[in-house]
Structure 1
Amino acid sequence: MIPGENLMKEKDARTESPEADEQIDLRNRIEKREGAVSGALPASVELDALINTSPAFFFLWRTQKDCPVEFVSPNISRFGYTAEEFMSGRLPYKSIIFPEDIERLSKTLTADIEDGAPNPLILEYRIVTAAGEIRWVDDHRMARWNDQGEITHYQGVIMDITHRKRTEEELIKTEKLKSFEVMASGIAHDFNNMLSVILGNINFARMILKAEDQAAQKLTEAEIACGRAKELAQQLLSFARVDSLQKKVTLLPTLIRNAVRFALNNSSISSEYDFEDSLFPVEVDEGQIMQAISNIVINGREAMPNGGVIRITAENVSHPTDQESLPAAGDYVKITIRDQGPGIPEPVLGRIFDPYFTTKSLKNDQAMGMGLSMSYSIINNHEGHITVESSEGAGTIFSLFLPAAAESMIEDPRQENVQAESKGRILFMDDEKMIRDVTGALLTHMGYEVSCVGDGVEVIELYQKAKEENQPFSCVILDLTIPDGMGGRKTMQKLLELDSEIKVIISSGYGNDPLIQDFREYGFKGAITKPYKIEELMDTLQRTLK
């Protein structure tokens, strides 16, 4: 039994809604004026005009099965229905309530009636419009009694609160991701440290063994597995909110095509494109935006195992009024990705951006529901917005909004030349002894003279001593984070005081740390992210020493 709402005509029929009280007061004033002002419009005409421009809908229901409606204000037409449909009995109010909310409302109203409805009820639930759209409403209602003290009706005011609910959902989603970001960042750092030891030992063992040795082949397989583990750590770090994304002003068409081509490689899915001419340039981290788009396309590909078409459009959108959740008004590029899959059920739709949420049976080589949450986080970190529309049997549409760049200068790609350089003396700092041992052994094997220490204080002492003895270090490699000692940032400041020309490489398991991203601004000559292969370390050293 789900009764409803109505226009409150009685003076004592008050709700706790300021909007409803205002409507009632206005009606009372109009009724008092009726016939009192010469030449005035009839009160009913004024009231109709008032109601039709109000954001509130007024109802009067009987407390019977399916909630038959005795009165509904004409502005119910905003939901695609007519007042006549309800008041004729053809359309009970219960029939427009979202099915999943019916049981909850029934229990609430039954309990209210059993208690004698002592207070106004304030309910929030979903309704389905005539067009099939799901909208949230705020329902303020009060009971009416007959002479025998029985509750016969509910009357009340309904407000569309869809925008408020969506905003609340976005805030909850953002807070949830923030918590996950902090956890993921810490896990990824520790994980990368462990991988550094594993990968370093694998590299060292491979250098000792002959290439045709069976053990060397097994080590190659282990190295590949470490590479996959590193990619997982990088996925975790993608959730971290970074202030120093590697942004540059970019035109999207080529980037979008490359991302889609990568995602659909070796699949039976085809792609179609429709890009507006003269799309706004955007200032983005190209790698991350490619990843965000690829993840969504991969989701569509997996939804169409028998093949199909994914359609991608891009258009300029200025001051979009239909996307109230955008961070700010302004110019955006809207990227729409539409698949032909079976669609996403409504109960699932609200969770698809949750980390590790998936409805698929996972195979050994599949990610565990990280793709869409990564896309959400990436777009959010670019001050953009992402939405999804879907219904069962009708496919899924993702819309990505990226802010247009403030300036339109497109950067030219540049290639740095890597030159081999002679060996030298290396001072290596890391708080993990196993990392010091394996990296020291690798560098020694490659022909460098290496000194390993675990703290910035030791680095300063050794570097100063070597300089005084006229045996300076060619390069210093510093770990960014030393939990119980002087880390890379402070150590670098001290070293620059000793030698303004010093060559220092910063290393960290936090690949997205602002210092790693913009290492040159802090005086470093190079940066490397753990875990790294010996080839990556040698390449960074050569670049730094050239």
Structure 2
Amino acid sequence: MQNECAAFDYVPLVVYRCIQRGIDRKFEFVTPYVYSLLNLTPEQLIHDSKVFFCRIHPEDRNMFLRGWENHTHLPATIRLEYRMLGEGNRVIWVQENSVMSQGSIENEIVCHGALIEIPDHQQIKEELQRWDRELQSLTDNLPDIIGRFDRKNRVMYLNRWWDSVEPFPPEKYLGKQLIELGVSQKVAGIFEKKIQSVCEKGISDSLEISHPTKQGLKNFEIRFCPEPTIGGQILTVLLICRDVTDVRMAELAFRESDEKFRQLAEVVDSVFWIWDVDLQQIVYVSPAYKRLWGGDPQKLMSNPFDWLTIVFQEDQSKVENLFLKRIDVKCLDIEYRIVTRHDELRWVHNRTFPVKDSLGRIHRVIGIAQDVTERKKWEEERLRGAKLESLGLLAGGLAHDFNNLLTAILGQLSLAKFTLDSSSPLFNRISEAEHASLRAQDIARQLLTFSKGGAPVKKTVLLQEIIKENVQLVLSGSNVRPIFTIADDLWPVTIDAGQICQVIHNLVINARQAMEEGGECTIQAHNVKGDMVERSDFGQMTLHDPEWIEIRFMDKGVGISNENLEKIFDPYFTTKSTGSGLGLATSYSIVRNHGGVLAVNSAVGEGSTFSLFLPATPLPEMAYEVPEKRVKMGQGKILIMDDEIQIRKVLGEMVETCGYSYQTAKDGEEALRDFCEAWEIGSPFSAVILDLTVPGGLGGKEVLSRLLTIDPQVKAIVVSGYSNDPVLANYQEYGFKGRVAKPFNLVDLSVVLHSVLE
């Protein structure tokens, strides 16, 4: 026995014999290895029955005591695992295996056993338990459905099911088939086929299904993964089921948004593009880049600055400099010109908008290049319009002053002419001077037409001499010869002669410029009926009046292209380097204000024909006005109001020459005062002549409105240097009985006075 015990001295375990009484363990024998394990000698354990219990970890002492209690049947085998405290309170896991038997004394328990250190076993056990807890927590909290199926399609594990977010207890699924869990026969069949396929092939597989839930129809993405054993057998299949409803809806929304963006990008006339800051290249450009600009998108993708070749040469350096320096830094807002594939120069407004990522870093730049050619044209037209308006105001003022001077000149000439016999040599000279002054009057009228336009001051006239005189005036000294074909029975027209003369000038100038090498300009004028016009080359026009006169201006010049024909009457449109683009536009406006039509036919290389249609005034309907050549005499007292002293003087002399007495007033207040005084003393004026415009005071229109409150039967004649003023054109609407446009001569004034008073 002693030799057998000596053999345990070399074995790495503690063998002992003891009597166990609660916390007392009286060792009778213990091997020396106890010192290596617990830093206690066998003698210490034999002499102190409590020292062993004191070395048990405090947390494990109750478990140790329970292990030795209530063993009614002896002998009994005890197997315990607990912690003990070694040297320096080092925790040591031990496994104790002991046999309990009845001792020689009653109630004495004798134990024979062994202690062995298990340094890794418990740690592995705890680690496995920890892994189990973490795995359980993971599967319980994952939004995905995790399941395990055996080869017979039985459920071995499920963390949750379709409609529940709570853990699924094993008693509800363990060993059941899918159809028992509420899955339709069709879906269950699909799952079972996938499980069998994965078991046989050992390769993961997936599918996507739509399945009804309490929250409605949802999309699920399901993966089937094989779980091979150590020997390579596949006994179970792992199922991972993920709700992808929101993902699919987002993908659908993205596709719809992308489709809308694509449709918008394809139809919009602006070029939309995206610049990637990291790649330093354009990653998208809309179809308008090719469709409208004529650029090559493929070249642009490989060379992000290929679009600069389309930029107008004068703008390239400025545009390139701005884009290279600032595109990745801040917003750009720049306008420049491009040359399209049709060699057309267009204005572009290019703006950029940086897009930042979650870190606030600019990672993309979105740009839009909009064609603003029409806006640029409008801005240029507005600028031109402002300049023309200023020039028009100047022209109007000049024309007004010019007409006042001409009135004084014509008045004095007509007075001098009235005192001479027609056989006098001076009579002819004065007549020539008077004729020259009347020509100057036409210039003043053109200035007024240019300055304001306005309603035409119409008279019924014959056009034969007007056409010839104005055509010859324009072509005088040029290498273009006029050829006239004018009907002798040309109907009269009711027109503003000055404005129609301006139209004739513009059309003849256009013909002369079209024939730089010289040639013939044919002018035809004849009467036409409305239905004849509709059957002519200009049948697209709608003419409401039954009788018209047509004047054609035909040249054999370079002609006008179809493209330019559509814009020939647009303001500022011109094909001439020095042209203003106003001549034909002004002519078109004048003719339209006369109720007429201006049309054109042309062919490149063959020449052009401009046709002017004016409503006729046939003789049976209205006799045209035959210019009066004699002074009309009369009697009465005339009140003259004009702010120019020269005009007051010459008007007074002219009125007096016609047999009337007169009184003058320099402004509206004085005229009202003189009129009231004469009215109160019972010697009223027979007529009043009122200048329409008085700077800084009451003009003729305002004075007349007050005179009518005093004498509703007052006979007033309006006089103005603005011969195309609406008041002059529609004088009767304002209460005037007659009108005289400056400049005028003695005969003109006498005729109006006579018609008003008689």
Fold-level match, TM-score > 0.5? yes
Task: Provide the residue aligned with 1:538 in structure 2.
Answer: 750
**Residue of 578, 583, 588 corresponding to 1:359:** 578
Quick check: 1:52 aligned with 2:266? Answer: yes
- Deviation per residue, 1:12-41 (Å, 9 max, x gap): xxxxxxxxxxxxxxxxxxxx9899748997
Secondary structure of 2:714's aligned partner: coil
Equivalent residue letter for 2:265:
I
What is the rounded CA distance, in whole Å, between the counterparts of 1:129 and 1:234 in structure 2? Answer: 45
**Partner residue of 1:19?**
none
Taking the aligned partners of 2:366 and 2:307, their CA distance within structure 1 comes to: 13
Whole-angstrom distance in 1 between the partners of 2:465 and 2:328: 62
The number of equivalent residue pairs is 440
Rounded Cα–Cα distance in structure 1 between residues aligned with 2:252 and 2:418: 104
Q: Percent identity?
A: 30
Matches of residues 26-41 of structure 1 in structure 2 within 5 Å?
37=251
Corresponding residue number in structure 2 for 1:3: none
Report the alpha carbon displacement of residue 507 of structure 1 after superposing the two structures with TM.
Answer: 0.7
**Match of residue 514 from structure 1:** 726
RMSD after superposition: 5.8
Partner of 2:689: 477
Aligned equivalents of 2:732, 2:632: Cα separation in 1: 21
Q: Deviations over 1:422-468 (max 9, x none)?
A: 51123322222111212222232333333333234444454455566
Match of 2:406 in 1: 195
Give the deviation of 1:505 after TM superposition: 0.8
Residues 171-200 of structure 1: CA distance to partner in whole angstroms, max 9, x if unpaired? Answer: 334333333333333332222222222222
- Tell me whether 526-535 or 202-211 shows the greater mean CA deviation: 202-211
Indicate how the Cα distance of structure 1 residues 521 and 314 shifts in structure 2: closer, same or farther if over 3 A, else same.
Answer: same
| Equivalence map 1:88-107=2 (5 Å) | 93-98=307-312, 102-107=313-318
Quick one: distance in 1 between partners of 2:344 and 2:428?
Answer: 58
Give me the whole-angstrom Cα distance separating, in 2, the residues matched to 1:396 and 1:55.
Answer: 37
CA distance, structure 1, for counterparts of residue 592 and residue 332 of structure 2: 37
Paired position in structure 2 for 1:237: 448
Partner of 1:301: 511
Partner Cα distance (2:705, 2:730) in 1: 16
C-alpha deviations, 1:293-336, integer Å up to 9, x for none? 54542342131232478999757699xxxxxxxxxxxxxxxxxx
Alignment partners' CA distance in 2, 1:340 and 1:92: 44
Q: 1:104 to 1:460 in 2, by over 3 A?
A: same
Instruction: Map 1:224-263 onto structure 2 (within 5 A).
Output: 224-241=435-452
Shift in CA distance, 298/309, structure 1 to aligned 2, threshold 3 Å: closer
Compared CA separation, residues 315 and 202, structure 1 to 2 (3 A): same
2:64 corresponds in structure 1 to none
Return the letter of the residue paired with 2:291: R
Measured at CA, do residues 351 and 169 of structure 1 come closer, stay the same or move farther in structure 2, by a change above 3 Å? farther
Q: Which residue of 1 aligns with 2:653?
A: 441
In structure 2, the partner of 1:167 is: 378
SS at match of 1:81: coil
User: Following the alignment from structure 1 to structure 2, what is the Cα–Cα distance between the partners of residues 511 and 394?
Assistant: 41
Amino acid at match of 2:286: S
Structure 1: distance between partners of 2:384 and 2:708? 44
Q: Distance in 1 between matches of 2:520 and 2:285?
A: 46
Change (3 A) 1:286 1:126: farther
- CA–CA distance in 2 between the matches of 1:138 and 1:214? 72
Q: Which residue of 2 aligns with 1:147?
A: none
- Relative to structure 1, the CA distance from residue 76 to residue 107 in structure 2 (aligned partners, 3 Å threshold; closer, same or farther) is closer
Larger RCO (CA under 8 A, 6+ residues apart)? 1
> Quick check: 1:73 aligned with 2:286?
yes
Amino acid at match of 1:195: L
1:490 paired residue number: 702
Letter in 1 for 2:447: L
1:524 matches 2:700:
no
Is 2:430 the counterpart of 1:219?
yes
Give the alignment's TM-score, normalised by structure 1: 0.60
Distance 1:234 1:55 in 2: 47
Residue 351 (structure 2) pairs with residue 136 (structure 1)? no
Does structure 2 retain, via aligned residues, the 8 Å contact 1:72–1:86?
no
Q: Deviations over 1:143-192 (max 9, x none)?
A: 99xxxxxxxx9984322223333333343343333333333333322222
Residue 489 to residue 37, structure 1, CA distance change in 2 (3 Å): closer
Q: For residues 253 and 694 of structure 2, what CA distance do their matches in structure 1 show?
A: 85
Which structure's CA Rg is the greater one?
2
In the superposition, relative to structure 1, how do residues 112 and 136 fare at CA in structure 2: closer, same or farther (>3 Å)? closer
Q: Work out whether 1:423 is the aligned partner of 2:634.
A: yes
DSSP-derived class of the 1:238 partner: helix
Change over 3 Å in CA distance of 1:521–1:85 after alignment to 2? same
2:641 and 2:665 in contact (8 A); partners too: yes
Task: Classify the secondary structure of the residue corresponding to 2:718.
Answer: strand
Determine if contact 1:96/1:128 at 8 Å carries over to the other structure: yes
- Which TM-score applies when normalising by structure 2? 0.46
AA aligned opposite 1:107: K
Q: SS of the counterpart of 1:158?
A: strand
* Distance change (3 Å), C-alpha of 1:240 and 1:116: closer
Q: The residue matched to 2:445 in structure 1 has which SS?
A: helix
Q: 1:505 aligns to what?
A: 717
Aligned partners of 1:479 and 1:285: how far apart in 2?
24
Deviation at 1:229? 2.7
Query: Does the 8 Å CA contact 1:137/1:162 hold for their aligned counterparts?
Result: yes
Equivalents in 2 of 1:479, 1:231: separation in Å?
20
Work out the CA distance in 2 between the residues paired with 1:290 and 1:472. Answer: 41
Deviates more, 1:462-471 or 1:156-165: 462-471
Residue-by-residue CA offset, 1:328-386 (whole Å, 9 max, x unaligned)? xxxxxxxxx99944989x9xx999849xx9938xxxxxxx99745744875898999x9
Q: Could you tell me which residue of structure 2 aligns to residue 83 of structure 1?
A: 296
Residues 87-113 of structure 1: CA distance to partner in whole angstroms, max 9, x if unpaired?
599x96455444xxx223413533664
Measured after TM superposition, the shift of residue 543 of structure 1 is: 2.2
* Structure-1 residue corresponding to 2:415: 204
1:544 aligns to what SS in structure 2?
helix
**CA 1:71 to 1:434, structure 2 compared with 1: closer, same or farther past 3 Å?**
same
What amino acid sits opposite 1:178 in the alignment?
Answer: E
Q: How far apart, in 2, do the equivalents of 1:475 and 1:299 lie? A: 45
Contact 1:137 1:159 (8 Å CA) reproduced: yes
SS at match of 2:435: helix
Q: Tell me, in whole angstroms, the C-alpha distance in 1 between the residues paired with 2:271 and 2:396.
A: 48
Alpha-carbon separation, structure 1, partners of 2:748 and 2:695: 25
Report the Cα offset of residue 237 of structure 1. 1.7
Give the equivalent residue in structure 2 for 1:121.
Answer: 332
Contact 2:457 2:728 in 1 (8 A): no
Aligned pairs for 1:319-338 within 5 A: none
Q: 1:233 Cα shift? A: 2.1
For residues 86 and 125 of structure 1, what CA distance do their matches in structure 2 show? 21
Paired letter, 1:444: E
Cross-structure match for 1:450: 662
Aligned to 1:432, which of 641, 644, 647? 644
Is residue 300–residue 310 contact of structure 1 (8 Å, CA) maintained in 2? no
Aligned 8 A contact 1:292 1:379 in 2: no
* Secondary structure in 2 matching 1:520: helix
Q: Structure 1: how far apart are the matches of 2:322 and 2:392?
A: 42
Which residue in 1 is equivalent to 2:147? Answer: none
2:392 is aligned with 1:181: yes
For residues 163 and 512 of structure 1, what CA distance do their matches in structure 2 show? 33
Cα separation, partners in 2 of 1:383 and 1:536, compared to 1, 3 Å:
closer
